[in-house]
Structure 1
Amino acid sequence: MDFSLLLVLAVALSGVVYLLDVLLLKPKRRQRFATAEANTQEGLDPATSEKLLKEPWPVDYARSFFPVLLIVLIVRSFIIEPFQIPSGSMRPTLEVGDFILVNKFAYGLRLPVVNTRFIEIDDPERGDVMVFRFPDEPAVNFIKRVVGVPGDRIRYEGKQLYLNGEPVAKQLIEEGPDASPEQLLLEEQLGDAEHFIYNNPRDPGPQMREVQVPEGHYFMMGDNRDHSNDSRYWGFVPEENIVGRAFGVWMHWDGGLPSFTSVRRIE
């Protein structure tokens, strides 16, 4: 189910009903009221007046919901949109159950539903955590880290990421961290972004020969390198699939009580 499409349809429907009332129905109600009042010497009683001026229920609902739906559409389409993390592919940066906020204008303003960019602001940079529509199933949103931008040459071999022929710098922080005892916690330097990643020393993981990122596309990888369904398996993300840049965690919910102790900025 495409929530953006449903929201656009709801705004359009309520707006049309509201506009129809303002231009046609409301003047007719007032005319009927004025005619009835002119034909009554004693004046209309309150009950009759209310009945003649009362809005039909579709108009009442449209008038109430249209401004609310319009504000939600504007905020969600052009400013900020919330998402929930459904998998562990971005651990340790993001945990399952994290609720994140996505900046919708960081990479330019896009029309809802069709996702066409009509105002250019900036382009994704290496190291950004980005939400995008999965190329094989556009109705599904994925979140990964931007590893390669147009023109970059990417290779992944022996748990080492190579960018334009050079190994991406990383250093071991901890062996078997409490949050994931079977993994190695490392800090990686990707562009200007320093972030943590996981590697499983007992899992050979995927190997990928060098590929070049085409124009208008991006190469994405999860920080949980051995447990991430990303560009190493299904290829590049086209520019038109970009949703926005993730910038913060505002809540965590794993089925119990919501927790706000993990509020943080996404690096």
Structure 2
Amino acid sequence: MVWFETILVALTALTGLIWLLDKLFFAKRRLAAAGVLEEAREPVVVDYAKAFFPILALVLGLRSFVGEPFRIPSSSMMPTLLIGDFILVNKFAYGLRWPITNKKFLDNGEPERGDVVVFRPPHHPREDWIKRVVGLPGDTVGYHDNKVTVNGKELPYRAEGVYQGTGQGARETGATKLTEGMPGRPHFVLEREDSPFIPQGEGDWTVPAGHYFVMGDNRDNSEDSRFWGFLPEANLRGKAILVWMNFDWSADRKVDVSRLGTRIP
């Protein structure tokens, strides 16, 4: 959420500036004015700044450069990720980036095919989305008849039965659950024959340099690269690694403990 990040940066900068200015200028004046026997009292605003700045700075540093929590709001990554999942995103997997601007200042690896990534889509730059990387720079990706091809090779599929959804994901009940055999990164996907996305979601795409082709695991209910194009590397936010909580408001506000600590394949 860009607004939260902006507020966090602003509060950290403000409290730090108040603390610094007081230490450099105003604290000495207060001591001189108080004299030897009288205690020099700090203004309330300085007291609060000194108390909150270390906490805000720590949260900002961890959130920006180590790991950040995100909540899954939609069904586009089912059955891998469910509505209400709270996930942890590795913020240094693809290089360190400055808060707000998302500009990279330190390289530290690139996405691999099959990674689940959080990013800001080109057409909604103030939102955070999550999809799976299917095509790397230079790849040719095809999607026909609910099957993905990468560089002319069709990924293998194995039917796992009919999917049974729960909570807000119950509307996906009846979809076919399959294992998509992406080399080294097999994972589940959903497909259904009655989806309105099938006719307009088919095609072939060659991924340009500095970009990625991303898709949701819920193939017939995902707005992804098939519809809005390639994901620029500069828009990456991090790599999703695990589910640390699930809280679905529609399911009697229950926490699904079976999701805790689930690794994201």
Structure 2 length-normalised TM = 0.91
Kept after mapping to 1: 8 A contact 2:80/2:264? yes
Confirm or deny: 8 A CA contact 2:201 2:227 kept in the other structure.
no
Matched, 1:266 2:264: yes
RMSD of Structure 2 on Structure 1 (CA): 1.4
Paired residue for 1:75, among 42, 62, 80? 62
Match of 1:187 among 179, 187, 190: 179
Larger CA Rg, structure 1 vs 2: 1
Residue aligning to 1:40: none
Q: Which residue of 2 aligns with 1:202?
A: 194
Structure 2 counterpart of 1:166: 153
Alignment-derived partner of residue 240 in structure 2 = 246
Indicate whether 1:236 and 2:237 are aligned: no
The range that moved more, 256-265 or 211-220, is 256-265
Q: Is the 1:99–1:250 contact (alpha carbons within 8 Å) kept by the matching residues of 2?
A: yes
Give SS of 2:208's match. coil
1:17 Cα offset (Å): 0.4
Extract unaligned runs of 5+ from structure 2: 166-171
Give 1:8 shift: 1.2
Structure 1 residue 219: Cα displacement: 0.6
Residues 1:177 and 2:163 are matched in the alignment: yes
Name the % identity. 45
Q: How far 1:164 sits from its partner (Å)?
A: 0.7
How many Å apart are 1:126 and its aligned residue? Answer: 0.6
SS of 1:2's partner is helix
Q: CA separation in 2, counterparts of 1:182 and 1:258?
A: 24
Number of residue equivalences: 252
C-alpha distance in 2, partners of 1:108/1:31? 48
Q: Provide the secondary structure at the position in 2 that maps to 1:145.
A: strand
SS at match of 1:12: helix
- 1:4 counterpart residue number: 5
Q: TM-score, normalised by structure 1?
A: 0.91
Counterparts of 2:153 and 2:258 in 1: how far apart (Å)?
A: 38
Distance of 1:215 and 1:130 partners within structure 2: 18
Q: Which runs of 4+ in 1 moved over 6 A?
A: none
